[in-house]
Amino acid sequence: MPRHGAGRRPARWTYFYLYVMLDVFSRYVVGWMVAHRESATLAERFIRETCLRQGIDRSQLTIHADRGPAMTSKPVALLLADLGVTKTHARPHVSNDNPFSEAQFKTLKYRPAFPERFGSIQDARGYCHVFFPWYNREHHHSSLGLLTPADVHHGLAEGRVAARTAVLARAYAAHPERFPSGAPHPPARPVEVWINPPKTRATEETRGRAATRGGALDHARAGQLLSAHRSDLHRPGCLEAPA
């Protein structure tokens, strides 16, 4: 999903803009760009170059973005049509329709090394050159069962989980008294990801009971399954786009 955020420039009330393309299933950042401004032309170039670099084929990708002027612009819409990329947008006035990008930007801005302001655009790019390799390869993501985005994105997750399982089994065999709840297991990793999960039978039953009582329950619009059971971008998946 492309998404963009702003970082402070040396002068007050001016900003640099960070464009990020994030694979929703693995949380792996496949592309980023720091620019002086938000621009449909820059967004178009960024998406095109990232898709080419990742070897995306037609009808293989869905891009979900918020409703910023760059991502809703005609040049970007024409580019996505030309690339055979399906696009979706956040619902109007719904702040959590892009939660994966929001979480990634929070991680970036809450890092201890994140400065109060950047001295120059080269300074901002230098920070990102350090941050994104760390985020992809070293950051153990709580929503990924404490795996790194690179583990999931490049198909290494199964091996990592097997190794953890073996270590925990040896620890339990050697000292079972340390595990009063029984044999330990590695955290579960996701097998599918949704932006807006579909309604379940329980949701329907709850909604029906509320309607019977004369009430009403709001529910999220059924979303699209972005990506599941995938190891790289050469298989069907979904990216988050800058907006």
Is residue 60 in a domain?
Answer: yes
| Predicted pLDDT of residue 7 | 52
Question: Does residue 98 contact residue 90 with C-beta atoms inside 8 Å?
Answer: yes
Is residue 162 in a domain?
Answer: no
Which pLDDT tens digit goes with each residue over 119-175?
899 999 999 999 999 999 999 998 899 999 999 999 999 999 999 999 999 999 999
Is residue 158 in a domain?
Answer: no
pTM of the model: 0.72
Is residue 200 in a domain?
Answer: no
| Predicted pLDDT of residue 57 | 77
Which residue(s) pair with 147 in the sheet?
141
| Predicted pLDDT of residue 233 | 23
Is residue 214 in a domain?
Answer: no
Based on its alpha-carbon atoms, the radius of gyration of the chain, rounded to whole angstroms, reads: 21
Tally Cβ neighbours within 10 Å of residue 96: 11
Q: Each residue's pLDDT tens digit in the chain (243 positions)?
A: 444 555 554 566 678 889 888 888 899 999 999 998 888 888 888 888 888 888 877 777 777 776 677 776 777 777 777 777 777 777 776 666 678 888 888 999 999 999 988 889 999 999 999 999 999 999 999 889 999 999 999 999 999 999 999 999 999 999 999 999 999 999 988 888 877 677 665 555 544 443 333 333 222 222 222 222 222 222 233 333 333
| Predicted pLDDT of residue 79 | 76
Distance CA 227, CA 135 (A): 20
| Predicted pLDDT of residue 167 | 96
CATH of the domain at 234: 3.30.420.10
Is residue 31 in a domain?
Answer: yes
The number of distinct structural domains making up the chain is 1
Is residue 173 in a domain?
Answer: no
Angle at 57 between CA 2 and CA 153, to 5 degrees: 60
* Exposure string for 198-236, b = 16+ CB within 10 A, e = fewer: eeeeeeeeebeeeeeeeeeeeebeebeebbeebbebeee
Question: Does residue 16 contact residue 7 with C-beta atoms inside 8 Å?
Answer: yes
For residue 13, give its domain range. 2-152+227-240
Is residue 7 in a domain?
Answer: yes
